[in-house]
Amino acid sequence: MMRSAWLDPVREPTRRLSPQVLAPLAVLLVAFLALNVAIAVLIVSGRLDGHWYDFRDLGNAVQALREWLDDRTADQPGWLSDLLGDHWLSYIVTALIGAIGILSFVGVVLLVLIWVERRLIGRIQVRRGPNRVGPFGLLQPFADAIKLIQKETLIPRGADRFMFYLPPVLVFIPGLLVWAPVPWAPHMSYLDINVGVLYLIAISSLSTLAIFMAGWSSNNHYALLGAMRTVAMMISYEIPLSIALLSVVLFTGSMQLSEIVQWQADHNMWLGVLMPLALFTFFFSSTAELNRTPNDIAEAESEIVAGFHTEYSGMKFGLFYAVELGNAVAVAAFVGTFFLGGWSLFGLEEWVPPYLVFALKIAAGYFVLVWLRGTLPRFRLDQLMMFAWKYLIPISLLQVILVAFERSIFEHWDVPGVIPLALFTIVNAVFAVRIVRFWARFLGYRPERETLLAPTLTRSVGGLQAAQRMRTVR
């Protein structure tokens, strides 16, 4: 019998988790949520104050631990207190807890999201994605990691060995550091500094150096081209990215990330809704900094093979890959923090742990990034540069001017905050649409007519004369 797979497709039975596994998980989840709600009821009714058992905010628990440690060490001065101050033990312990928390979060996220990304891309591309190693292919990232670690590390002849070894490690440092100021819940952030936005901008541009080192030391034209492209793009897109964040800082009046989230929670208003243009600018610039489609020109596969990490093999390549993924998640986190209300969700954060709300927003942002990667072609380098300098920077500067006016109106107008915010939302949305259209026309862009795009159909054939006749007919 001839095979006709698509007339009578042989479907693999869909694999599901067995009820023996699923039932306890469901019970645990329901119990967890019920406990949350119970604690929330007790706290709202005033019968409890927020304390360490309020695990909806892990900051409470750490704070309690800190106080307990301070009580123990306050009356026992020693040379360490002389050196580091009275609270040295609580300081070191909480710092360690936070660092371990961030490291384990990033580690787990990297392993899980490799699988998530490949599965999602598989779905987008009408195929299955990894589904062989472990249930649903969940162990695929582990298999990949083991494979990469086992591989031989090749160093091209003529490469600068020290500079070649350094970048995979260097690129990891900013990838971890950016997670420090992220506010997960009202009191749950590792480094709640008052120049958080500045810190972020500074840290995020550090990886450029590592990437350029990688490209330069590889002694490979593709790697060099990729590195040059990365540097050009990072420098260009830092500016619109910073300007977009400037709008946020102007309006909320703070550079502290927790304050920015608190502002959004207090006013029940997402900054992404209030200023969509800033959200778009930030997101687009971030994809450029991340080297993800449509801006993945630094490692454009069809042109320069793998860009700056062409010569890296084994776990060195694995580190680059992991950092790229981790940065994508970090961008999702910052879009969530700055523009989508962080851990707040219109009062829901009272009833479920805020860090879960925030994780949900990260997941949503990350999904959009994967979706873009699965859909769009790539820009050219000069087009991207043009887009940054001639398009994004002017319109985001105009946006900042508008936001500055709105801020001063917001401060001095003596009406309930809802009215100006609603007004500004409408004004900003209209402004965004108008300025995008106006600036595109100003730069000479004209939308193509549908008839111009489609080829002409003809029934007669001929050579050059026929071609010229067809040209004159049009």
Partner 1 sequence: MTTASEPYVLNIGPQHPSTHGVFRLRVVMDGERIQDIDMVVGYLHRSMEKLAEERTYTQNIPFTDRTDYLAAMSNNLGYCLAAERLAGIEVPDRASYLRVIFAELQRLASHSMANGTFINDAGAWQTPLMYMFREREKILDLFEMTCGARLTTNYMRIGGVAFDPPAEFFPAVNALIDELPDRIAEYTELLVDNEILLARSRGVGVVSAEDAINGSLVGPVLRASGVPWDLRKAEAYCAYGDFDFEIPVGHVGDCYDRFMVRLEEMRQSVRIIRQALDGLPSGPHKTEIPLALRPAPGEAYARVEGPRGELGFYVVSDGGPAPFRFHIRAPSLINLSLLREMAVGTSLPDAIVTLGSLDIVVGEIDR
Which parts of this chain interact with partner 1 (CB under 8 A)?
2-7, 121, 124-127, 221-222, 225, 293-294, 296-297, 300-305, 373-383, 448, 452-464, 466-468, 470-471, 474
Whole-number minimum distance, CB 438 to partner 1, in Å? 17
Cβ at position 210, least distance to partner 1 in Å: 22
State in angstroms the smallest separation of the CB of 3 from partner 1.
6
Assign 3-class secondary structure to 82-95.
Answer: HHHCCCHHHHHHHH
Residue number, 78 or 377, with CB nearest to partner 1: 377
Residue 425 Rama label (left phi>0; alpha psi -120 to 50; beta):
alpha
- Nearest Cα neighbor of 378 from 456, 288, 453, 311 is 288
Residue with Cβ nearer partner 1 (375 or 408):
375
Tokens of 143: 């298999």
Nearer to partner 1, 64 or 124 (CB): 124
- Nearest distance from residue 380's CB to partner 1, in Å? 5
Tell me whether residue 161 or residue 474 sits nearer to partner 1 (CB atom). 474
- Closest approach of partner 1 to the CB of residue 313, in Å: 15
Comparison of 289 and 296: residue with beta carbon closer to partner 1: 296
Residues in a beta bridge with 188 = 185
Q: Where are the alpha helices (DSSP H) in 293-417?
A: 301-304, 314-339, 354-375, 381-386, 393-412
69 close to 93: Cβ distance less than 8 angstroms: yes
Mapped onto helix, strand or coil, the DSSP state of residue 188 is: strand
The answer to whether the beta carbons of residues 323 and 302 sit under 8 Å apart is no
310 or 396: CB nearest partner 1: 310
SS3 category, 353: coil
Considering the complex, what minimum distance in angstroms separates the CB of residue 290 from partner 1? 14
Q: How far is CA 117 from the centre of its chain?
A: 13
CB contact at 8 A, 287 and 369? yes
Tokens of 296: 């993945």
Least Å distance, CB 232 to partner 1, is 10
Task: Pull the structure tokens for residue 218.
Answer: 């590889």
Query: Which is closer to partner 1, CB of 1 or CB of 83?
Result: 1
Residue 126 CB, nearest approach to partner 1 (Å): 6
Q: What phi and psi, each to the nearest 5 degrees, are found at residue 130? A: -60, 125
Angle between helices 88-124 and 354-375 (to 10 degrees): 40
Q: Which residues pair with 367 in a beta bridge?
A: none
**Secondary structure, 3-state, 97-139:** HHHHHHHHHHHHHHHHHHHHHHHHHHHHCCCCCCCCCCHHHCC
Amino acid at 174: P
Q: Which is nearer to partner 1, 47 or 474 (CB)?
A: 474
CB of 122 to partner 1, least distance (A): 9
Partner residues linked to 185 by β-bridges: 188
* Comparison of 161 and 471: residue with beta carbon closer to partner 1: 471
Residue 373 has a CB neighbour count (10 Å cut-off) of: 18
Q: Write down the residue that tokens 């040059």 correspond to.
A: 228
Tell the smallest beta-carbon distance from residue 464 to partner 1 (Å).
5
- Cα 33 from Cα 230, distance rounded (Å): 45
- State in angstroms the smallest separation of the CB of 284 from partner 1: 12
